[in-house]
């Protein structure tokens, strides 16, 4: 059978009716409605078309060629959410395609919302109906680029392609496979949500680990930054502690003792400094 819904094929323009071109290939034919053309056509020419099934299940052709097909993957936006069925994607064809609720997270709040994007391909059921299907982990890994070490501490953007208690899995716009551990989340993103995250590790297999949390230095307040600056200029250690004289603290850091203690507490909590038994503050290795 030459008619393969969900694929891009080359057909011949056989003849024209008042509202449709009839395309032929071998001994088969298919209709190309005028509203599905993107330019004028002439009988006898060859045309590339995408084959889909209309609401009655009949194969039709369109000259608009989607990125998402049975042979390829691509991002497609969510245009409708039907709790009893799943979500519908606009792949660029005349008909939106369903992602079955069986291919969506169990928790309804983790489902994609309108305008979220799913990285998908197309599939058919036994009745020949076309469905969109999100990429699996194996399919993502087969397509993933090897992330360079220079990506560490850089910001990536992408879309969540898999959700779970352990963390969120992200397919970046540069085709890197990223993992967001639950401890690095400030919130749990839903499937298909656009996210931005900081790369905290580039693994040997070329995948990356990312975080929603800001860089410790970037998120540091003014007082903590002043203390850290003094530490870096004094070989990483200073003869101060929470028992130091308030005037000495004021003279050295231009902050009060209370502010000093709060700043040291924050730096210790972030794992940047420690207080020694000798009564000093010291940068951790």
Q: Kindly report the CATH number that applies to the domain delimited by 222-283.
A: 1.10.10.10
Q: What pLDDT, on a 0 to 100 scale, did the predictor assign at position 222?
A: 79
Q: 222-232 and 257-269 are packed helices; what angle lies between their axes, rounded to 10 degrees? A: 80
Using an 8 Å Cβ cutoff, are 151 and 158 in contact?
no
Mean local confidence (pLDDT), 133-152: 96
Fold of 8-62: OB fold (Dihydrolipoamide Acetyltransferase, E2P) (2.40.50)
**Residues 196-253: pLDDT tens digits?**
999 999 999 999 999 998 765 555 577 887 888 888 888 888 898 888 899 988 888 8
35-44 as b/e: b if 16+ CB within 10 A:
ebbeeebeee
- Residue of 22 and 127 predicted with greater confidence: 22
**Residues 35-75: pLDDT tens digits?**
999 999 999 999 999 999 988 888 999 999 999 999 999 99
What's the full length of the chain, in residues?
285
Q: Tokens 């507490």: give the residue.
A: 265
Domain boundaries in the chain?
8-62, 74-134, 144-211, 222-283
Q: What rounded mean pLDDT belongs to the chain?
A: 92
Q: What pLDDT, on a 0 to 100 scale, did the predictor assign at position 100?
A: 97
pLDDT beyond 70 at 27: yes
CA 152 to chain centre: 18
Q: What pLDDT, on a 0 to 100 scale, did the predictor assign at position 205?
A: 95
Give the whole-angstrom CA distance, residue 114 versus residue 229: 47
Q: What pLDDT, on a 0 to 100 scale, did the predictor assign at position 224?
A: 82
Sheet architecture: strand order including 237-238? 237-238, 281-283, 273-275
Q: What pLDDT, on a 0 to 100 scale, did the predictor assign at position 84?
A: 96
Out of 1.10.287.3510, 2.40.50.140, 3.30.70.20, 1.20.120.160, the CATH code matching 74-134 is 2.40.50.140
**Residues 90-125: pLDDT tens digits?**
999 999 999 999 999 999 999 999 999 999 999 998
Least Cα distance to 64 among 45, 89, 47, 77 occurs for: 47
- Is domain 144-211 given the CATH code 3.40.190.10 in the classification? no
Give the whole-angstrom CA distance, residue 269 versus residue 211: 18
DSSP run (H or E) holding 223: helix 222-232
Give the whole-angstrom CA distance, residue 74 versus residue 85: 22
Q: What pLDDT, on a 0 to 100 scale, did the predictor assign at position 133?
A: 97
Domains 8-62 and 144-211 share a fold: yes
Tokens found for residue 156: 């990536």
- Residue of 256 and 189 predicted with greater confidence: 189
Concatenating the DSSP letter of every residue in 44-86 gives T-EEEEEEEE-TTS-EEEES---S-BTTB-EEEEEEEEETTTE
**Residues 149-166: pLDDT tens digits?**
999 989 999 999 999 989
Is the four-CA dihedral 91, 92, 95, 96 of positive or negative sign? positive
């Amino acid at each position: 059978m030459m008619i393969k819904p969900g694929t891009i094929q080359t057909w011949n323009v056989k003849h024209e009716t008042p509202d449709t071109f009839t395309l032929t290939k071998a001994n088969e034919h298919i209709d190309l409605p005028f509203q599905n053309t993107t330019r004028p056509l002439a009988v006898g020419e060859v045309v590339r078309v995408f084959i889909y099934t209309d609401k009655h299940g009949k194969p039709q052709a369109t000259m608009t060629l989607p990125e998402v097909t049975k042979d390829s993957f691509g991002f497609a936006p969510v245009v409708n959410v039907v709790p009893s069925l799943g979500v519908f994607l606009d792949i660029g064809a005349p008909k939106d395609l369903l992602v079955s609720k069986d291919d969506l997270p169990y928790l309804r709040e983790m489902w994609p919302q309108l305008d979220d994007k799913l990285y998908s391909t197309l599939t058919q059921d036994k009745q020949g109906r076309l469905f969109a299907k999100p990429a699996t982990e194996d399919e993502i890994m087969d397509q993933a680029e090897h992330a360079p070490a220079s990506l560490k501490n850089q910001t990536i953007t992408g879309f969540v392609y898999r959700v779970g208690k352990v963390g969120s899995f992200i397919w970046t716009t540069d085709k890197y496979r990223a993992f967001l551990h639950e401890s690095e989340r400030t919130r749990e993103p839903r499937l298909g949500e656009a996210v931005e995250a900081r790369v905290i590790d580039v693994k040997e297999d070329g995948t990356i680990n990312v975080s929603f949390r800001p860089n410790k230095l970037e998120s540091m307040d003014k007082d903590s930054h002043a203390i850290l600056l003094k530490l870096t200029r004094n070989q990483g250690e200073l003869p101060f502690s929470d028992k130091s004289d308030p005037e000495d603290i004021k003279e050295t850091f231009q902050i009060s003792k209370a502010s000093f203690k709060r700043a040291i507490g924050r730096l210790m909590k972030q794992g940047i400094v420690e207080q020694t038994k000798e009564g000093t503050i010291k940068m951790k290795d």
